[in-house]
Each structure stands twice: as structure tokens, then as C-alpha cells.
């Protein structure tokens, strides 16, 4: 049992800063859906006051630029992360002090875990009685390890909508926490883990996050409408990508909202003025039958809608993409990851690079914009496989390349593989690594400094390629392609030129 004094019960749900640590005008310009779902459940099932605080939101914001992050912002990030006097932390401290919550609930991913701990410390500094609850992907992946930090009182593991309601009821009633499934907490000096909570079978029972946003989201009126344009249709992913932790959080069994329920939420968003939404699912649709049913529901109930999603290469065929286009799909994200088939096999993507090329051609033929994800620096990577990925980046037909460096997040299979092969040690600091971090280097076959140099040059190449793609998309500059004879390779370092065989 966690003791609280008798006072009005309030919970402050916080998204910790991450983007704004790199530059004060970088921002998470969206309503965090995980906190939105929690807030809706708390309003529906408890008498608690609830506020959602996206501490990574800046009303005056700009888009995060890869080139700036690669070359300038990492030092800013490290400085701000460890500097409690930075403006971002002063704002958070002032917000917590003004709200005076009984409970602070923090959503933590691995890349912002250290930031989440700073938020927890600030909450305890302001009022030691405040109960700090941490949930999200990182606590769900690493479990009891999070409780090694004394500023965290309780961890929620897995889905939180039902768990947080039971937890708040117990805190309000001064009841023991032992019978609440899906949490980790301290009792009599020991860390206790309760049994896992069963996954929510009926996803249609959950509220629409945007409906409660006006009442709970701090600075709601300062957000652009597009900040509420994200929708989940499913939870879970049937695939087994080596580097992904989704299956550890949601499981491989996919749970589906009914197409009618999804369409009803979208129709509500359209009434607000939104006619462009994005599906946040790990893999859109998961199977072709559900994609068909969902597209038909959208065409019937959501006329005029445009939407985007991420889909698996295996789901791409002429009939599926044609139906998605008819239902309003205007942009697709595709996780190709590598241009080398041996790497694709090692990370268990389930397709070859030629199959990925074919999927891209199908999507492009239907006039749908395409963003392709590539990752460099897998543990099995060699300079030759990196060269294949660069060649694929230059060959693939798409509107944008999303470039990342391999990052082994704690709790994933990839993290354990890196640990087993001596690529990371017991002193691993999760805050130093993310998909664009210059510190990333986890290759067995490429020396760290060599990889960092090559990865930096590839990042610069991708930035320039994307710049050219944007220019070519402007109608008045359609002849701009003539400058291609300048050659991307000429601006790269000798290391990249050698990698490309030039």
C-alpha cells in the first residue's frame, strides 16, 4: 500500500522531452495516443482529475532536420539532458508545481528514459509525497530494473488502460497493490512483480483519445489540428523483426478494432475539420481481408478522407494497393531496412530486396507517395553490405528515404545479441543512443570509427537525395532533374566513395 494524505486526487500524465533537447524549436507536435487512451479510461472509470502534459511540445516549432542532428544537435542534447537548469526542465518543474498532482504518470521509451527519470526526480523534488508511476515501452521491456531508480514508485507493464484505473482506485482507497495485475512496485524494501495482465480483447471498448483531449490536454488550444490526426486500428504485430520490441509489448497475436469502430472515430475527426489522418499501427491491416474490410468502411463512412500508413512488403500487391488508393490512401511507409539479402535474412524481414523493389514499383504506379525506411549498422553488417544498402537507396523509386542507424534497445533480441557478442557492456547508457546518434556503432565486422564515418557520410547523402526529391516534386522545377549530372557521390568523403567502389 502506498500512503497518501487526504487531498483532491489528481494525476498528471507526462510525455518527457526528447526532440526539444536537441533544439528548443524541435517539438513533438502531436497528441501522444498512449496518454490519450489512459486519460479517456481514467475519466470514464474514476473520479480522478487528469491532465495530459506533452513536455516535448513547443507552440513555435520547426521540423527536425537530419543534417542538423547529425552535425550539431547531439552536443545540445547531451548538455540539456544533464542540465537541470535548462529551460525545458524549469518549465516542467513549474507545471508540476502548479498542478500539484497526487500521481505523476510518465510514459517512457528507451530513447527518452533518462529524460523520464529527470521528470520523476523533479516531481519528487517538488513534493516527496507525489507517487511516480512509469509506463510505456521501456518499463514494459526491462521490467523491475526501472525500480532501481528510487524516484520511481510503480511500473506499469504492458497495456495500461485497465491497470491504471485499478491502481488509482487502490491509491485513493489506501488499499494494497498486491492484487493489481501488470505492475511492479516496492513493498517492505522488496521489489514485487505481480502477474502479467491479460491483453484487452475488445479494443472497441476503449474511448476515442481526441474526444477527451479538449478537457485534459495542457495547451490544447495551441496545437494544430493535425496533432490529433493519428489513429490505431490494431495492436500487435505478427512479424519477428530482429531489432523490434513490439512483440514483447503487444504480443504477436494481433487484435483488431472493428472496421466500423475505426471508421466512426475517423468520421468524428472529420467533423473537427481533419480530412487527412495517419494509421499508427506497426503494420497497417496485417492481413488482406482486414485491409479490404477497413477500406470499404472508410469509403462508406468517411468520404473525402486522405490517409497514410506503414505496410509490410508482403502485403503489397496490385489489388490491395488499388483498393487502398480508392479508399483515399495517399502515402505509404515501407520498412525495407537493408539492400543486402543476407542482412534482410538475418534480421528476419521476410522478403528479398528485389521483392521490396517490386512493392515500391506497385505503390508508385498507383500514384501513392512512398517513404522508405533504411537502417545501417546491423551487428552482421560489413562494408560490402553497407554498399548494397547505399546502392538500393539510389535505385529505389520513392519520394523520401527515412534514414536510421541500428539501435539495440534494452529488452529486445537485438540487445541481447549485441551483449552476447561483446558489442555492448554492462555500462550501456541508453540515453546516448538513438536512430541518428553519432555514438551508435554496433557492428562486428566494421571498426567503430570507420562505421561512424561511413554512417555520417551516408546520412549526408540521404539528406541531399531527399532535398533533390522535394525539388523535383515542385511543378515549376520539374526540369530540375538536369542537375543530377552534378552527382551525389562528388560531395561525399573518400570513405563513402571507397564504399561505393569509386
Instruction: Classify each residue of 144-173 as buried b or exposed e, where b means 16 or more C-beta atoms within 10 Å of its C-beta.
Output: eebbeeebbbbbbbbbbbbbbbbbbbbbee
The answer, yes or no, to whether residue 441 has pLDDT greater than 90, is: yes
Among 44, 56, 59, CA closest to 209 = 44
Q: Is the dihedral of CA 398, 402, 407, 408 positive or negative?
A: negative
Query: What pLDDT is stored for residue 324 in this prediction?
Result: 98
Contacts of 428 (CB under 8 A, 6+ apart): 410
Compute CA distances 427 → 142, 267, 269, whole Å: 15, 49, 46
* Contact (CB, 8 A) for 207 and 45: no
> pTM surpassing 0.85?
yes
Q: How far apart are CA 425 and CA 171, in angstroms?
A: 38
* Per-residue model confidence as pLDDT tens digits over 218-261: 999 999 999 999 999 999 888 888 888 777 777 678 999 999 99
- The proportion of the chain whose per-residue pLDDT surpasses 70, expressed as a percent, equals 91
Class of domain 229-499: alpha beta
The answer, yes or no, to whether residue 482 has pLDDT greater than 70, is: no
* Per-residue model confidence as pLDDT tens digits over 59-110: 888 876 655 565 678 899 999 998 999 999 999 999 999 999 999 999 999 9
- Rounded mean pLDDT of the chain? 91
Query: What pLDDT is stored for residue 98 in this prediction?
Result: 97
Q: How far apart are CA 357 and CA 313, in angstroms?
A: 9
Query: What pLDDT is stored for residue 60 in this prediction?
Result: 83
- DSSP state, residue 65: P
Query: What pLDDT is stored for residue 490 in this prediction?
Result: 46
* Per-residue model confidence as pLDDT tens digits over 258-307: 999 999 999 999 999 999 999 999 899 899 999 999 999 999 999 999 99
What is the phi/psi pair of residue 26, to 5°?
-85, 145
Among 246, 241, 214, 236, CA closest to 227 = 214
Q: How far apart are CA 292 and CA 287, in angstroms?
A: 9
Query: What pLDDT is stored for residue 220 in this prediction?
Result: 97
Domain boundaries, the chain: 10-193, 229-499
Give me the helix-helix angle, 259-272 and 209-216, nearest 10°.
40
Among 66, 64, 38, 63, CA closest to 52 = 38
Which of helix, strand or coil describes residue 309? strand
CATH of 10-193, one of 3.40.50.280, 3.20.20.80, 3.20.20.150, 3.40.50.150: 3.40.50.280
* Per-residue model confidence as pLDDT tens digits over 193-217: 999 999 999 999 999 999 999 999 9
* Contact (CB, 8 A) for 52 and 229: no
Among 205, 213, 323, CA closest to 261 = 205
Grid coordinates belonging to 458: 551516408
Which of helix, strand or coil describes residue 34? helix
Tell me the residue length of the chain: 502
Strand 10-15 and strand 49-54: the pairing is parallel
Amino acid at each position: 500500500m502506498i500512503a497518501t494524505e487526504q487531498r483532491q486526487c489528481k494525476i498528471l500524465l507526462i510525455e518527457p522531452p526528447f526532440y526539444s533537447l536537441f533544439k528548443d524549436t524541435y517539438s513533438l507536435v502531436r497528441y501522444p495516443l498512449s496518454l490519450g487512451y489512459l486519460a479517456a479510461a481514467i475519466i470514464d472509470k474514476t473520479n480522478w482529475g487528469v491532465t495530459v502534459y506533452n513536455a516535448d511540445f513547443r507552440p513555435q516549432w520547426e521540423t527536425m532536420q537530419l543534417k542538423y542532428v547529425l552535425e550539431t544537435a547531439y552536443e545540445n542534447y547531451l548538455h540539456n539532458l544533464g542540465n537541470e537548469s535548462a529551460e525545458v526542465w524549469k518549465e516542467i518543474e513549474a507545471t508540476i508545481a502548479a498542478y500539484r498532482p497526487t500521481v505523476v504518470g510518465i510514459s517512457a521509451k528507451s530513447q527518452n528514459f533518462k529524460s523520464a527519470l529527470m521528470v520523476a526526480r523533479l516531481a519528487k523534488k517538488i513534493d516527496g509525497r507525489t507517487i511516480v508511476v512509469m509506463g510505456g515501452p521501456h518499463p514494459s521491456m526491462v521490467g523491475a530494473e526501472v525500480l532501481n531508480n528510487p524516484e520511481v514508485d510503480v511500473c506499469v507493464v504492458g497495456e495500461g488502460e485497465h491497470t491504471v484505473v485499478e491502481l488509482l482506485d487502490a491509491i485513493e482507497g489506501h488499499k494494497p497493490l498486491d492484487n493489481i495485475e501488470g505492475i511492479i512496485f516496492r513493498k517492505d524494501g522488496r521489489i514485487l512483480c505481480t502477474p502479467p495482465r491479460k491483453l484487452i480483447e475488445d479494443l472497441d471498448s476503449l474511448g476515442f483519445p481526441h474526444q477527451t483531449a479538449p478537457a485534459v490536454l495542457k495547451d490544447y488550444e495551441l496545437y494544430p489540428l493535425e496533432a490529433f490526426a493519428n489513429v490505431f486500428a490494431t495492436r500487435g504485430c505478427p512479424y519477428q523483426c530482429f531489432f523490434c520490441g513490439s512483440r514483447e509489448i503487444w504480443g504477436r497475436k494481433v487484435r483488431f478494432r472493428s472496421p466500423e469502430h475505426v471508421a466512426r472515430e475517423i468520421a468524428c475527426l472529420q467533423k473537427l475539420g481533419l480530412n487527412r489522418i495517419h494509421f499508427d499501427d506497426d503494420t497497417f491491416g496485417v492481413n488482406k481481408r482486414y485491409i479490404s474490410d477497413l477500406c470499404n468502411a472508410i469509403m462508406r463512412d468517411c468520404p473525402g478522407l486522405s490517409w497514410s500508413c506503414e505496410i509490410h512488403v508482403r502485403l503489397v500487391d496490385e489489388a490491395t494497393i488499388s483498393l487502398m488508393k480508392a479508399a483515399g490512401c495517399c502515402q505509404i511507409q515501407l520498412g525495407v531496412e537493408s539492400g543486402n539479402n543476407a542482412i534482410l535474412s538475418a534480421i528476419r524481414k521476410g522478403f528479398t530486396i528485389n521483392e521490396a523493389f517490386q512493392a515500391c514499383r506497385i505503390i508508385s504506379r498507383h500514384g501513392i507517395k512512398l517513404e522508405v525506411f533504411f537502417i545501417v549498422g546491423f551487428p552482421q553488417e560489413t562494408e560490402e553490405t553497407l554498399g548494397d544498402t547505399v546502392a538500393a537507396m539510389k535505385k529505389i523509386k520513392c519520394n523520401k528515404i527515412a534514414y536510421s542507424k541500428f539501435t539495440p534497445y534494452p529488452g529486445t533480441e537485438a540487445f541481447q545479441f549485441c551483449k552476447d557478442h561483446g558489442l555492448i557492456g554492462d555500462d550501456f547508457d541508453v540515453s546516448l543512443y538513438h536512430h541518428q546518434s553519432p555514438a551508435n556503432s554496433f557492428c562486428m565486422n566494421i571498426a567503430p570509427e570507420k562505421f561512424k564515418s561511413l554512417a555520417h557520410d551516408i546520412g549526408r547523402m540521404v539528406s541531399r537525395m531527399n532535398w533533390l526529391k522535394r525539388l523535383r516534386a515542385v511543378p515549376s522545377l520539374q526540369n530540375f532533374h538536369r542537375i543530377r549530372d552534378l552527382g551525389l557521390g562528388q560531395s561525399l568523403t573518400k570513405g563513402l566513395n571507397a564504399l561505393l567502389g569509386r
